Every structure is written in C-alpha cells, then in structure tokens.
Amino acid sequence: MALGEFELIERFFTWPTPRAVLGVDDDCAVLAPTPGMQLCVSSDMLVEGRHFLSTVDPQRLGHKALAVNLSDLAACGADPLAFTLALALPRADERLAEGLAQGLFALAGRHGIELVGGDTTAGPLNLCITVIGQVPAGQALLRSGARAGDELWVSGTLGDARAALEVFRGTLEVSGEAFTALRRAMELPEPRVALGQRLRGIASSAIDVSDGLLGDLGHILRRSGVGARLDVNALPRSAVLAGLPPALQQECLLHGGDDYELLFTLPAAVAAEVGSILSPEVPLHCIGRIEAGRGVQCQRGGRAVSVPTAGYDHFA
Ligand code: ADP
Ligand code: MG
C-alpha cells in the first residue's frame, strides 16, 4: 500500500517534543534555548552509494544518520536539543520508513534530542539531518585552541569502520565473528556526547574523527597554528584490527574514516589530573603531543616514520 507524503510524516516522523515550543506541524519549529546558552548547529548528509550501501539495515541507517550529527555536537561539547530531518525516499515504503524511524528515535531518546521538523520528498535515498545543541556562552570546544606542550588524546578505538569497508569491497577477508564486530563499528557508531560535555572548560581543542585521524588532526593543527608528534604504536585499536596485517592496520588507524571518536588536546597540567578519569563509558588514550611548528611527525617506537597526511576529500 502506497503512503502519501503527509501520512508518512505523521505516522513515522511525528513524535512528542516536550522541550520545543512547537515541533512538527507548522512552517517552522519554535525552540526555546536556555537563557545564557549559545546554540551550536551542524548538518551532515548521508547519500546512498557514497556513505552507505543499498543493503544496509534501515534501522542502522537511521541510527547512523543521527549519530554522525550528534558526533559534531559532541565535538563542540554541546548538549543536544533538537534536530530536523530532510529525507528523500525512492518510494513511500513502510518498512523502510519504519526502520529508519526506529533507529533514529532509539538514539534520539537516549540523548534527549527531539525531531522538530524536516522535509520529505521522493528521490534517491538520502538523509540530511541538522542538529541544534547548546553550550554555556563562550564554552563551545573549538578546533583552534591547541597549544605547544598540550597532550593529544583520543576516545575509543580507531580503524574498524574502514576495515569493514575493505571487507565489503572484497579486499580483506576475516572470520564471520570478526566481520560482525567491524560492521557494527561502521553501522552503529556511538557519538561521544557525554565525553564532549565533560571536556568543556578542560580541553584546549577538539574535533570528531570522521574523515580519518590524520586528516582531522590536520584541521586542529592548521586552525591552531601548531604541529604534532604522533605515536603510531599508541593508537588504540580493537582486538580484530590488531590481528590484521600491519600495513593495513596503519592505513585504517591513520586514514580510515567513519570512526566518530573524539580527538582532543589537554594542557599537560590538566592531563596529569583528569586524563584517565574523564570518561567512565569509553577508554581514552594519549597518542601524542602538540608541538611548535607545522604538520604531523609520526613516530613508531621513538623512530620517525613517513606517512601521507591527506584526509578524505569527496572531490579529490
Ligand atoms: P512546508 O510546505 O512548509 O515545507 P511540509 O509540508 O514540507 O512544510 O512539512 C509539513 C511539516 O512536517 C513541517 O512542520 C515540517 O517541518 C514537517 N516535516 C516534513 N518532513 C519531515 C520529516 N522527514 N521529519 C520530520 N518532520 C518533517
Ligand atoms: Mg516541505
């Protein structure tokens, strides 16, 4: 049975919005930010064939579309408030819409973020979400605050999503169990929202790792006008990744996209006190140090190694 545009919106994408003044239903949503807070706004689009495979489970796709956006709020240290969803669907497919909605709202509920509007159109499957969060005025974490002497830290593990992609591409073979774990990392990233909030007033800079560690570190370094020394051996990796050939491991760790971990800098005095206790939900690792100068110097066991530094660029 084919559903109309408004039926689709009403059945699958209209949920209660107790925090918003007005949610889905009018020409605009109306929000009431807490006095004294600044808004943080970010959009990320997921396009079939480019960001996900046509075979992906709709529930996982719904999760990921919101997760990658929440990850941007996390990188700014923001408290999630509201989001909009611009959705193109090839057909008014109930199973697809219901799956997407389940994935979206399960994650939204855990982070207290409300769907307050959007747009729905026919077209190649495409999800564009805009998230709105808030931070106490002047406290948003930025890419520009890293200083020579700061320690460089990362949450979780890196590289699994890229390894999963290599399995899908047919360039890597792993056991069924290992593939399940890698695929989970690729399809169900957990945005580090609580960590980002805790880093406010503590971290000197932060970014989420979405386009590969070296590329995203490069953004911090350029915006901050500093360089960094990175210890490749210290990069945190899953047991599955640690079992892959060393050259592939290094590629996944340094250049793999879709990690959605937080990369941040801590002034050394702060790091000594809080580095290990900042985050009960996810392990944190010190992976290097900010230095005067430019660019990244990669080291392995104290010896310099040379690696290309470009991150992912859709038009390169
Ligand atoms: P307009 O014609 O003003 O663009 P629409 O008819 O497109 O409004 O949308 C009607 C209402 O439904 C609006 O409140 C809009 O924000 C909301 N909406 C449309 N698509 C979605 C969606 N995918 N998710 C949530 N809300 C949506
Ligand atoms: Mg519209």
304 burial via Cβ count (<10 Å: 0-12, 13-18, 19+): exposed
Strand partners, 83: 115, 131
All residues with CB under 5 Å from ion ligand 2: 119
Q: Measuring from atom 10 of ligand 1, which residue has the nearest CA?
A: 25
| CB of residue 20 inside a 6 A radius of ligand 1 | no
Spatial CB neighbours of 244, under 8 Å, sequence gap ≥ 6: 163, 172, 174, 252
- Tell me the ligand closest to 66's alpha carbon: 1
pTM metric for this prediction: 0.94
Q: Which of 3, 5, 8, 9 to mutate to test the pocket of ligand 1 (most atoms within 8 A of CB)?
A: 9
Q: What is the pLDDT of residue 54?
A: 84
Q: Which of 21, 25, 61, 119 to mutate to test the pocket of ligand 1 (most atoms within 8 A of CB)?
A: 119
What is the 120 CA–ligand 2 centroid distance (Å)? 6
Q: What is the pLDDT of residue 5?
A: 86
CB atoms within 10 A of CB 18: 7
Q: What is the pLDDT of residue 279?
A: 78
CB atoms within 10 A of CB 291: 17
Residue type present at position 271: A
Per-residue pLDDT of the chain (316 residues; tens, 9 = 90+): 567 888 899 999 999 999 999 998 889 999 999 999 999 999 999 999 889 988 899 999 999 999 999 999 999 999 999 999 999 999 889 999 999 999 999 999 999 999 999 999 999 999 999 999 999 999 999 999 999 999 999 999 999 999 999 999 999 999 999 999 999 999 999 999 999 999 999 999 999 999 999 999 999 999 999 999 999 999 999 999 999 999 999 999 999 999 999 999 999 988 887 766 777 789 999 999 999 999 999 999 889 988 865 555 555 5
Q: Which atom of ligand 1 is nearest to the CA of 86?
A: 23
Q: What is the pLDDT of residue 314?
A: 56
- Tell me the ligand closest to 24's alpha carbon: 1
Helices marked H in the chain — which ranges? 5-12, 58-76, 94-111, 160-169, 176-187, 193-199, 213-224, 239-242, 246-255, 268-274
157 burial via Cβ count (<10 Å: 0-12, 13-18, 19+): buried
Nearest to 45 by CA among 123, 158, 99: 123
| CB of residue 62 inside a 6 A radius of ligand 1 | no
Give the integer Cα–Cα distance in Å for 222 and 203.
Answer: 17
What is the 97 CA–ligand 1 centroid distance (Å)? 15
Q: What is the pLDDT of residue 316?
A: 57
Q: What is the DSSP string of 83-150?
A: EEEEEEESS--HHHHHHHHHHHHHHHHHHT-EEEEEEEEESSSEEEEEEEEEEETT----TT---TT-
| CB of residue 117 inside a 6 A radius of ligand 1 | yes
